[in-house]
Amino acid sequence: MKKSLLIVAASLFTCITAGSVFAQTQDTVHKTTTTTTTTTTAPALDVATILTANPDYSTAATAVKTAGLDVTLKGVGPYTVFAPNNVAFSKLPAGDLDNLMKDPTKLATLLKGHVVTGHYTKAEIIKALTVGKGKATLTTLDGQVLTLSVSPNKTLQLTNAAGNSAEVVLYDMVGTNGVVNGINGVLK
């Protein structure tokens, strides 16, 4: 009798286990055959639109549009924009930004000092610094020299012809026609 009960219990256990395994296998097979994958790609943006899309660079985006430089920055390129963030613009002396926004020609000249022709991501900048043994120079849209070097803080520092400096705080906002790198100062 004990043997019969043991056989019945073992058979019952085997049936339940097999049913459970079969149900799991069927469920897995069902899930596998009904799973679909969809991928979405972000819309391709030019460097002018990248500025507009990033709220930390809204002042730069407004300045670019006010100066009429957005037409250039929507062009073929490639361009690298070293864009001051909103905090950088807020550090300007009182009234400077308002005065610049009222004078699109002067504003365009200032902004062109932040844009170079070419595609310079972080990796490409490091390569240029390596080749230049710690320094590299780029020519801005207004024909001025922008010197890149490593700051004492071990960050990338940009210095314009007037001797004003800023550090890169955000790299590689890559667009269809170039790249935007964020900086913490306005190069006046």
User: Residue written as tokens 């007037």?
Assistant: 162
Q: Domain with 82 in it: what CATH number?
A: 2.30.180.10
Do 35 and 110 share a domain, yes or no?
no
Residue type at 39 in one-letter notation: T
Do 51 and 120 share a domain, yes or no?
yes
Do 27 and 110 share a domain, yes or no?
no
Do 56 and 141 share a domain, yes or no?
yes
- Please name the residues in contact with 117: beta carbons below 8 A apart, sequence gap of 6 or more: 77, 78, 79, 80, 139, 141
Number of domains observed in the structure of the chain? 2
Do 66 and 157 share a domain, yes or no?
yes
| pLDDT higher than threshold 80 for residue 87 | yes
Output the pTM of the full model. 0.76
For residue range 3-40, what is the model confidence (pLDDT) as tens digits? 443 343 444 444 444 444 434 444 444 443 333 333 33
Do 96 and 169 share a domain, yes or no?
yes
For residue range 95-115, what is the model confidence (pLDDT) as tens digits? 999 999 999 999 999 999 999
> Is 188 a domain residue?
no
Give residue 165's domain range.
47-183
